[in-house]
Amino acid sequence: MTVNRLRTAEGRWVRVRMGVICGLLALATGLIVSAGYLVMARDGQEWRELAERQRQRRLRLTPKRGSVYDRNGSPLAISVDVPSVSVDAMELLRGVPPQEVPFVARRAAERIASALGLEAPEVERKILRQRRFAWLKRRISQTEAARLRELGSVSESGEEPLRGLLVEAEGQRYYPQRALGGPLLGFVAPDGTGKDGLELSLDEELGGQREALVGLRDRSGQLLFLDGIQDERTLAGNDLYLTIDQGIQNLAEQELARAAQTFEALSGSVVVVAPQTGEILAMASWPSYNPNDYRFSETGSRRLRGIADRFEPGSSMKIFTLAAGLETAVVRPNELMFCENGSMKVDGVNIPDTHPAGWLSLSQALALSSNICLAKVGMKVGGQRLHDVFRRFGFGEETGLPLPGETSGVLLPRGRPWVQVETATAAFGHGITVTNVQLAMATAAIANGGRLMEPILVRRVQSGTGELVREAAPRVRRQAVPASVARSVAEMMIAVTEGNGTGVQARVNGFSVSGKTGTAQKADPKTGRYSQDNYVASFVGFVPARRPVLAMAVTIDEPVVEHAGGAVAAPVFRRIAEGALTYMGVTPEGKRATDVHKLVGAADPARKASELLERGQPTLQEVREQPQALRPGTVRVPDLTGFPVREAMRKGIELGLEPRVVGTGLLGRQEPPPGSVLGKGETLVLVFEPAS
């Protein structure tokens, strides 16, 4: 009995133990299953993302920045590859025992600093952070890159090669024309973002689309890329082709700087426009700077003054007041007005004239820049209507150019009636502010028949693969005044540059010029009155007067030696216009281009004789005296003396010769001389001399 009870008790204990063990196993199994469920089902996404982050690496691919070209394809801003060096500190210290890490890092920092000209403690700190990526030095020289590559191989002293150093190409912005168009173009900071000018306003287009490349790390931590580049557009940003002409831009900057320095001015601006299309051919600012060395430039020299500086235009506004008077029919083109002998009071304020006069026609009043006459025209038009005409010419609103920092200027408010003195002073350009680009576009509207054009600065945008993204086309914003009014004003403006006009120094030999001078006193913020010492000198105009190809606004701020617009700004207009017209190959008025067939001489004697007989000039004897026919494949060298560069080259090419250009200006000499016989394909040397 006792034995049976013991066996029964022992069996019961065994079963209890087995139950406990099974229960514990079941609980453990449940916990494991539950944990697995939590890991795989509920929290699986988070763990998968963590695993991907641990084994994958995303590399941001920065595209090559797009280039900027002028209208003829000359590069103004390009990106070049310059080596930069980074360090993978984890790779550099891989396999180094922890106790030796400080010593290895210090020795590696000394070697790297010696090669790159850096401070060893700073390099050591970057290594001891043990990060996968850290810049050591950006945009290093080729010599430094060679020294760095030597560190990756066994040195003559037997030192171990350094791992984890990476020399890679990084884009650096370069401006081949140096300071040309500096404030217009802007610059690019070391981080690759555009600053100022077009580099800032069109940063997204120039910078391109950034793409992330995904790769896997192997056991040694090396990156293996899984996918290639999906979109070729990520390799480079868009290229910009501007309407700016490098030759005219260079001429405008040189003449502006020359005038500003001669008259000791504070600053200045020139804007040159193609009046029929609204294309900006040049936008010069002074002082300027070289974007390649922007770190050494002052803030004021980076200011694009043509759009950012607003000023009271003075007498330059009189042409638009006159247009308002003719449009509203309050005055007639041949009307005479009494100019009060040089002094008139309006609302107790005295309005003087620099050239006192009695009765003047509107053309004479414009030529002598009579404040009184144009004030009377403005008061006849009325403040509200004068405001509306100024607004139609684009004053008081931004032009919409793709540039940062443009100001709209200020017109007197339209909501309340203008008092007489406000209307009178606004009529001759005081009490309102404008920008130089507004003046240029409004002057172009007078030149092209009253059409205010949309200014165009970016002519074409192309992708990095050469595909056309967009192309600008001329667009009329609105009709500022009727074409007949614009033509009348343009004719009256010719008197400004002729005879006793205030703008005779803007006259261009061989061309008629329509223009208007401006000499505006600047308001003194300390006294609230107009300064007796500080002026803004300006000149606006277009050339040729009747078939204009150039419209221009020149503004010189605070000239010291002389302050009259006719003496300070008008000569700048003349010199730029002379150079630009010659550069563009525009023939002076009254001089017709020579016919190529006449230049060839007797290449076709029968046609030559026929032409002479038709004019009734020659006799049969004269025809016989014409040179004999040339051998096949030869031509007679024509006399191209006085031709501009483009026209002379074009004539030479049409004859089958190979022109070689020496100098600039107008053709003064040619080798061989006129009348010589050359074979087609032979060289014709054209020696050009300055127009003066």
Question: Considering 84, 315, 316, 538, which one is annotated as catalytic?
Answer: 315
> Which contacts qualify for 499-502: CB closer than 8 Å, 24 or more apart?
499/367, 500/367, 500/368, 501/367, 501/368, 502/315, 502/367, 502/368, 502/369, 502/564, 502/565, 502/566
Q: Name residues whose C-beta falls within 8 Å of residue 220's C-beta, 6 or more positions apart in sequence.
A: 94
| CA nearest neighbour of 636 among 598, 686, 685 | 598
Distance CA 306, CA 547 (A): 25
**Residue indicated by tokens 């002998």:** 341
Instruction: Show the DSSP H helices in 460-530 as ranges.
Output: 483-494
Distance CA 543, CA 549 (A): 6
Under a CB-based contact definition with an 8 Å cutoff, are residues 555 and 304 in contact? no
Give the 3-state secondary structure of residue 24. Answer: helix
Residue positions counted in the chain: 692
Alpha-carbon radius of gyration of the chain: 39
> Is-catalytic flag, 343?
no
Under a CB-based contact definition with an 8 Å cutoff, are residues 457 and 244 in contact? yes
Under a CB-based contact definition with an 8 Å cutoff, are residues 562 and 263 in contact? yes
Under a CB-based contact definition with an 8 Å cutoff, are residues 588 and 556 in contact? no
Distance CA 138, CA 190 (A): 9
Query: Which CA distances in Å does 659 have to 70, 679, 689?
Result: 25, 13, 16
For the chain, report the end-to-end CA distance as a whole number of angstroms.
144
Distance CA 80, CA 175 (A): 10
Q: Kind and range of the H or E element at 620?
A: helix 620-624
> Which contacts qualify for 187-194: CB closer than 8 Å, 24 or more apart?
187/291, 187/294, 188/65, 190/138, 190/139, 192/62, 192/65
| CA nearest neighbour of 550 among 558, 541, 559 | 541
Burial class (CB in 10 A: 0-12, 13-18, 19+), 355: middle
What's CA 240's distance to the chain center, in Å?
10
* Active centre residues (catalytic): 315
